[in-house]
Structure 1
C-alpha cells in the first residue's frame, strides 16, 4: 500500500484536511519505487506551528513535515514503458484533438473546483502566500489548460503548391514520450505550462517535480485520473535531479525534454540529450533581467517594478532611490503564508539561503555598497532582509549572476547608448523592463535589448498568447502561446504522386 500524508490546516485563511499520496504515479496507479528508492524529506520553511495540528510543521526551524518516495532508474524505465504503451494505444494520434481538448478542459474544471485546497497545499509546499498561490499560480494553471484545450483540434499543417502532378502537404506530429522537469518556485504552474501543450499535441509525459516542492504535483496526479486521462498518459516520478533528472535526460526512448531551472543544469540536460538519442530539448533557464528607468518615467510605477539590476537615469536617481528605499523598508516580513498583509517570506531551503547570503558577501567584498539590508532577518527560518546595493560595477558577480533572492543593485546611468551596452553585458537574456513616457525610446530599447521578453512601462508578466523564453544562456525554445505547440511537435513533409511519370 502506497503511503499517504494528511495535513490539517487550521489557519486564518484556510481550514481543512488534505491527503496526498507520497509514492510514484505510473501507468495510472500509485506505486512504490521498484528497488526501494530514496525517502525524500519535505521541509517547511514558513508555517508557524500555532496554525497546524501536525507537530512536525514548524516554519521557524524548518522541520520535516513528511517524506515522499524517490524513484530510481528502473522506475523511469517503467514510466517510459507505460507512456509508450499509452501513446501507441490510447493517446497520441489514436485520439482526436477534440477529445484531448475535452480532457484538458475537465482537468481545468477540477483544478478550479479544488483551487482552495491546491492554494493551501502550494503555500505549504513552497511557502508562498496563500493569496498569491490561489490568485496567480492556480488561476494561471486553469487558464493555461483551457487555452491549450482550445488548440487541441487546431494542430494543422499546410498544403504546399509544387506542380500539377503532385500533392504536397505537411503534418505536425507529436514527439511521443516527453520528459518534463519542473522547478521549485512555481511547482504546479510550471507543470501545467508543460502539460498543456504537450497533451494538446498528443504527447505523453513523464513528469518530475522538484524534490524540494513535490506536493501539489502529487495532488495533481489524482486529478488527472479523475479527469479521465488514460493510464500512462501522464506519469509522476519524484526524485533527485542528479539521479532521476539525469535518467530522463539520457533515456533513449524519451524523444523530448522540457526543463525549467538553472543554466548549469540546463547544460547537463543538453549534453545528456546529445549523447543519448539527440532528443529535442526546450530549456527555460536563468536570467539577470535589467529594469531601466529613464528620466521621464512614472516613478510610482517604476518603484513597483523591481529587478535584480535596476538602472536609473541620473536626473531622477536620487528621487528614485529614496522612493525605492521607503518601499523596500515598508515590506512586512511574512511570519506565515496564511497571514494577511505580508509581503515577503524566507528562502525555500537552507541551501538557497546560504547561496543568496553568499552573493551578498560577494557584493560587499567586491566593493559594492549595501544601502539597506545585507543580513539575515531574525534568528529562525531562512529570512533575508530586503537588500539594495549601490555603486555596483558591471563585472561584479551581483551584476552578472542570477541571485534569485531579495537582492538588487541600483545603478546610475547617463545615456541610452551607455545603458543599452550595460544591459546587454551578461550571458543571460531572459527578460527586461523599460520605463519611459517616450514611446519611441521605449520601442528603440525593446528592439536593442538582447532578451526574449521585453516589457515597456510594465513588469514581465506571463500572457498566455505570447511566447516566453530567453536569448543566449537563458534557454532554448519557447513556452506559452502558439509557439509552444511547435516545440511539442515535429514537422513531416508528405509528397504524393498524382500523375508524374517516373
Structure 2
C-alpha cells in the first residue's frame, strides 16, 4: 500500500541529525563485527562532502562467514521450518520497530544519499515498514495444494524456501530496496545476506539491530557492507548461496548472471536499468497536471530512479504549450540542503555520480537544445548538486535519449501519431515502465498493450503499490518485486506423489 503520511516537522532536522548515532560495523550471525581484515571505507555525506564514518569493508572472507552462519541457521530450521505464524510475528514486530526508529532511519538515509529529508521521513522509511508488515502478514497465508489425481494416489504441491538468499541493493532507495528483497525472502523462510551499496550502508546496518530485536534468529539476517568486487562478487560466486535478488545497473546485473554460470547456477532475479517513456497525447486534457507529473517523473529523488521517465514524448500539436508548462513545473525542484524542508531537490549520491551525469549533460549540449539547467550548483557547500536539466529537440537516437543517465536530465522528443510514438518508446534496450496521458480510454488500453514494459501508468507517473508487481523486461531485468508474486522468487515448488491402496490389506 502506498504510504504518504503527513511530513514530520522537527524544530530543526539538522540538530536532530547531529545527535544520531551511526553504526559502522558489519552484522554477521546475530552480532555486529568488524571486517575480517579490519578494512574500512569512508562513508561520505554527498550534501557536504564530510565523512560520516568509517564503515567495515567486507571481503570474501566475511562472505564466507556470513554464508556459513546463514546455512547453519537455515538447516537448523528455527526460522526455515518454524510455524509461519512465528515469522509473521517477528516481521510485523520489525515493521513496528522501523516506525519507532523512523526519524533516526530517515536522517541516516538523507545523510548517506543526499535525498530530501521530507521524502526519507514520509515515503522511504514508512514505506519500508509497510513492506515488512505486508509480507509478514502474508507468510502464514500461503497455502499448499492437493491435486485431484484419482483414488489411487495423492499428489501434493508444497512451497519450500530456496535456502540462502543474497540481496544486493542500490544506493538510490537503500532501505526501501532492502525491504523489497529481504521481506519476502525472510517471510518465505530463507536466510539472507544483505549487501548494501557502498555509497549507502547506514540504514541497512541499523536495520540489522532492529531485526535481532524483533526476534529474527542469529544467522538468518546478515548485513555485509563493502565494495561490489569485494563483497557483492563473492556473494554471486559463492557455491552455497542459492539465489540472488539484485537491483542496480544493467552492467552489474549481467555480472551476476555470469557469476551464477561460473558457480552453482543459482537463480538470479534482476531489476536493472530503465529509460522510461512519458507520452503526452494531443487529447491529454489537463496539460498543467501532465507537465507537473512529467517534472516529478524525472526530478524526484534527483532523477536517481531506475524507472524515471527520462524520455518525454509530446505530440507536435501541443509541444510549445506543454514545454512552457514543463519549464514552470521544473522551478519547484531547485536543489538545496536535503535537511531543509523547503528544498526542491537534494544532492547527487556521490562525486562519481555527479561527474557521470555532468558528462552526459555536456554530450547533450552538442546533441540538442538546452532549455534549462545544465550545470553544477551550490558548489560552495562542498556538496554534489546539479540543477534540473531539460533538453528539447532531441533526436530519439541521441545518446541522452538512449542511455540511462540516472540524474535530473530530461529529453523532450516530439511525435506525430500513436504508431510513431509507440515505436519510438519501444526502441530501447530497456523495458521498465511508461506513462501515457490521454482521455481516450481506447487509446490508453491500446497503447498500454503495445508498450513492451513491465508497468504502465495512465494519467499518472511511475505508480508503485505494494499490492501490484514491479519489474521489467528486456535489459531492465526479470522477476517481480512487491505483491504476493514476489514470493515466487524465493520459494521452490515440490511435488510429492503418494500411491494409495484402494482397498484395505
- Normalising by structure 2, what TM-score? 0.92
Cα-to-partner distance string for 1:103-162 (whole Å, 9 max, x where unaligned): 000000111111111111111111111111011101111111111011111222321122
Cα-to-partner distance string for 1:415-443 (whole Å, 9 max, x where unaligned): 00000000000000000000011111111
- CA distance in structure 2 between the aligned counterparts of 1:303 and 1:102, rounded to whole angstroms: 44
Structure 1 residues 500, 428: CA separation in 2 closer, same or farther (over 3 Å shift)?
A: farther
Structure 1 residues 476, 223: CA separation in 2 closer, same or farther (over 3 Å shift)?
A: same
Residue of structure 2 in register with 1:3 after alignment = none
Residue of structure 1 in register with 2:40 after alignment = 39
Deviation at 1:14, TM superposition (A): 5.6
- Counterpart of 2:496 (choices 491, 494, 497) is 494
Residues 363, 400 of structure 2: 8 Å contact kept: yes
Instruction: Note the 1:320-399 alignment, pairs <5 A.
Output: 320-334=322-336, 336-365=337-366, 367-380=367-380, 381-399=383-401
Deviation at 1:90, TM superposition (A): 4.3
Q: Which moved more, 1:89-98 or 1:347-356?
A: 89-98
RMSD over aligned Cα atoms: 1.6
Cα-to-partner distance string for 1:3-50 (whole Å, 9 max, x where unaligned): xxxxxx9934662622233111111011122222x311111121xxxx
- Counterpart of 1:437 (choices 418, 433, 439) is 439
Task: Give the unaligned 5+ runs of structure 1.
Answer: 1-8, 47-58
Residue of structure 2 in register with 1:283 after alignment = 270
- CA distance in structure 1 between the aligned counterparts of 2:60 and 2:113, rounded to whole angstroms: 27
- CA distance in structure 1 between the aligned counterparts of 2:90 and 2:13, rounded to whole angstroms: 35
- CA distance in structure 2 between the aligned counterparts of 1:94 and 1:329, rounded to whole angstroms: 54
Structure 1 residues 262, 493: CA separation in 2 closer, same or farther (over 3 Å shift)?
A: same
Q: In the alignment, does 2:288 pair up with 1:300?
A: yes
Q: How many residue pairs end up in the alignment? A: 476
Residues 14, 116 of structure 1: 8 Å contact kept: no
- CA distance in structure 1 between the aligned counterparts of 2:27 and 2:398, rounded to whole angstroms: 45
Deviation at 1:182, TM superposition (A): 0.8
- Counterpart of 1:65 (choices 29, 52, 68) is 52
Deviation at 1:221, TM superposition (A): 1.0
Residues 91, 204 of structure 1: 8 Å contact kept: no
Residues 166, 495 of structure 1: 8 Å contact kept: yes
Task: Give the unaligned 5+ runs of structure 2.
Answer: 1-9, 295-308
Q: In the alignment, does 2:164 pair up with 1:177?
A: yes
Residue of structure 2 in register with 1:4 after alignment = none
- CA distance in structure 1 between the aligned counterparts of 2:373 and 2:114, rounded to whole angstroms: 22
**SS of 1:178's equivalent?**
strand
**SS of 1:20's equivalent?**
coil
Q: In the alignment, does 2:190 pair up with 1:213?
A: no
Instruction: Note the 1:191-210 alignment, pairs <5 A.
Output: 191-210=178-197
- CA distance in structure 2 between the aligned counterparts of 1:21 and 1:359, rounded to whole angstroms: 35
Residue of structure 2 in register with 1:117 after alignment = 104
Residue of structure 1 in register with 2:120 after alignment = 133
Deviation at 1:88, TM superposition (A): 1.4
- Counterpart of 1:446 (choices 445, 448, 456) is 448
**SS of 1:254's equivalent?**
coil
Residues 338, 345 of structure 2: 8 Å contact kept: no
- CA distance in structure 2 between the aligned counterparts of 1:493 and 1:13, rounded to whole angstroms: 56
- Counterpart of 1:188 (choices 165, 171, 175) is 175
- CA distance in structure 1 between the aligned counterparts of 2:51 and 2:127, rounded to whole angstroms: 29
- CA distance in structure 1 between the aligned counterparts of 2:467 and 2:106, rounded to whole angstroms: 24
Residues 310, 411 of structure 1: 8 Å contact kept: yes
